[in-house]
Chain A
Amino acid sequence: MALVQIDNVSRIYQTGEVQVKALQDVTLSIDEAAFVTFVGPSGSGKTTMLNLIGCLDKPTKGKVFIGKEQVDTFDRRQRAAFRGSTLGFIFQAFNLFQVLTAYENVEYPLVMIKNESISKRKEKVLKVLESVGMLDQKDKFPDQLSGGQKQRIAVARALVTQPKLVLADEPTANLDKKSAVNVIRLMRNMRDEFKTTFIFSTHDPGVMKEAEVIHTLEDGKLV
């Protein structure tokens, strides 16, 4: 069953008098619990595709469905609420909050978005930290962790709210090869454990091999 449905979507950026067609008439669907990657050279539209699926941006044309919701019609507030309830994000530069410990970073969405009780939060955070193998590092601040460890914490933060879909834009770009493969395998294991759909972008051939479904983008078109 399709979790993500993209119908004839285009995204055009206007910079001055120049029009940049980041995506052109793309149609695709992604199944639940899939482990999907978008690949392609820089400027091919990978990030734009993830931004549209992640409700961070709106298409110029076309429709985006996640589950039963047509998310391209949402206003700013609805999109924020939808992201908090349904989606998880992993960023290339980890984007952990520097003033929070690993535990607090993972706990953040439960406090600020889900408003869950302390006991429930603790249970969920410890469980997900254990799953990503970072339980023993929970009291460290991000600047005390290695790149691979930071990304593990980022994966834990994305998964702690039990989202249907996790989006990761170049999650391994700042990691060495070994750490990159480890993070991708961790993501796949998490997919297996939590049945969460993972969509990520990469141009690393070693990482691509780990994906189950590969969509290739070139000049904003699926090829």
Chain B
Amino acid sequence: MIRIFKIALRNLMRYKRRTLLTSMLITLGVLMVILFSGLAGSFKAIMIGQITDSNLAQMQIHKKGYVSSIDTSPLNLTINQKGYKTLEKVFKENPDIEAYSPRIKLSAMLSNFKETTNVRLNAIDPKKEIKVCPNVSDRMKFSGSEIPDILLKQGEIIIPEKLAKGLKIKIGDPVVLVANNKDGSVNGLNFTVAGVIESLVGPQGKEGYMHIKDAQSLLRMEQPETIEIALRIKEFDKLDDVYTDLESALAEFKNKKGKPAFEIHTWETLSPFANIAKMIDFMTISMKLIMIAIVLISVLNVMMMSVYERVREIGTMSAIGTAPGKIMGLFLAEGLSLGFISTLVGNIIGIVGIYFLNIYKIPFAFGRNTIYLLSPTINLSELVWVTAIVLLISVFATLQPAYKASKMEPVDALGHV
């Protein structure tokens, strides 16, 4: 076997320029896949992190039917105290859940005493919210340069930046919030603007923030009620598994009509960025397909040329008694060696490239004054996958020429001019 690969390598070196060109092409394909996967993966991870860690959370639980009517911010689809405690028990029993945070979503009228406008608000328990969305303050601007330990206290409100500009409201200004409760009665409360928040793409990206207890008072809730429970899990990679576990756990809770009482959604079904993430995955797969095409065409071409140029040699091998299987093996070893060396070089250059991209990070801006730095990574399984595909395609591309060589009649091959 070692001798077969030794002969194969020498045969590859026989046509140095052709082998080098083909090898460079395969190396380039592998490098392209590694760098693109690393950069795209890094971009995707940052964006998903930004979305889930700043406002959406990784998963959300609502009363059944809430998400389909989310645009109207219905106040009649709330989770009562009993329901919330039941869910808390489910969360505590699941070791994969890191944190959860209750929210109330509401629409209200905001007035600066001169003008009034609509505002959508996310009422939160700040301590719990920070655990679920650790980057929630990234888009926020407060009076000082420091971010307060507790985002907001009772009686404070954080309003969307554009709205603040439109109504000429500054941080520290008093405002009034007026809201209808679920029975239709109106209530108003005074608040102080604690900060402003930059808008973000997505359904929950233009909301202001207030304290959940203020929301319960404003909406005249006699008992604490919740509209949304945001969840964070310990390992993001386990999202689908945890989602499945929770979905089956929640399915046990029925409403009075015997239908599921709750619904659970991952960030993917709540954010339009999920489609962009899918597009990134699709582009990564496309890159891999291009690499496969490069390997297939280049190895097939070089091996066909190799067989065509060595007909007499194949005839000699066959005449002196080399079994057809071994002749085939010689050519397969040649194609495999070409693929292996090229992918090895591609992997090494790719890893070095990723290393340098991590030193000289590529910056991009997204959100409030935040410069994100792409820090591409490539995991071992991705490298193994790329290598395995290249080797498999190299062997596949060599099969036809190698089979042709093994089937040559020595008497015809020896007479080939």
Contacts and interface: CB of A to CB of B under 8 A. Distances in A.
A54 B319 contact: yes
B318 interface: yes
Interface string A91-123: 101010111100000001101110000000000
A112 B322 contact: yes
A95 B313 contact: yes
Interface in B315-346: 315-324, 326
Contact of B321 (A87, A91, A98): A87
Contacts of A38: none
Decide if the interface of chain B is mainly helix, strand, loop or mixed: helix
Contacts of B414: 56, 91, 95
Contacts of A95: 312-313, 315-316, 414
B163 to A, nearest CB: 77
Contacts of B7: 97, 99-100
Contact of A80 (B312, B313, B315, B323): B323
Determine the interface band of chain B, counting residues with CB < 8 A from chain A. 20 to 34
B127 to A, nearest CB: 73
Contact of B316 (A81, A85, A91, A113): A91
B171 to A, nearest CB: 79
Interface string B69-90: 0000000000000000000000
Contact of B14 (A54, A83, A99): A99
Nearest to A87: B321
A14 B274 CA distance: 69
Nearest to B313: A97
Given A51-B411, A111-B3, A84 B320 contact: yes
Given A57-B411, A97-B313, A89 B320 contact: yes
A77 B323 contact: yes
B321 A99 contact: no
Contacts of A157: 320
A98 B318 contact: no
A76 interface: yes
Contacts of B322: 80, 84, 112-113
A207 B409 CA distance: 30
Nearest to B10: A99
A158 B316 CA distance: 12
A99 B316 CA distance: 14
Contacts of A83: 319-321
Contacts of A98: 14, 313
Contacts of A57: 411
Contacts of A158: 320
Contacts of B271: none
Nearest to A51: B411
B320 A113 contact: yes
B312 A56 contact: no
A207 to B, nearest CB: 21
Contacts of A97: 7, 313, 316
A166 B290 CA distance: 52
A80 B324 contact: yes
A98 B320 CA distance: 16
Nearest to A141: B10
Contacts of B160: none
Contacts of B315: 95
Given A51-B411, A56-B410, A91-B414, A113 B319 contact: no
B137 interface: no
B277 to A, nearest CB: 50
Interface string A27-68: 000000000000000000000000100101100000000000
Given A83-B320, A89-B320, A108-B320, 7 more contacts: A80-B318, A87-B321, A88-B320, A95-B316, A99-B11, A111-B3, A112-B326
Sorted nearest first, the 6 A-B pairs with minimum C-beta distance are A84-B321, A99-B10, A83-B321, A95-B316, A56-B411, A113-B321
25 contacts: A51-B411, A56-B319, A56-B414, A80-B318, A80-B321, A81-B323, A82-B321, A83-B319, A83-B320, A83-B321, A87-B321, A88-B320, A89-B316, A89-B319, A89-B320, A91-B316, A95-B414, A97-B316, A99-B11, A99-B13, A100-B10, A108-B320, A113-B321, A113-B323, A157-B320
Interface of A: 51, 54, 56-57, 76-77, 80-85, 87-89, 91, 93, 95, 97-100, 108-109, 111-113, 157-158
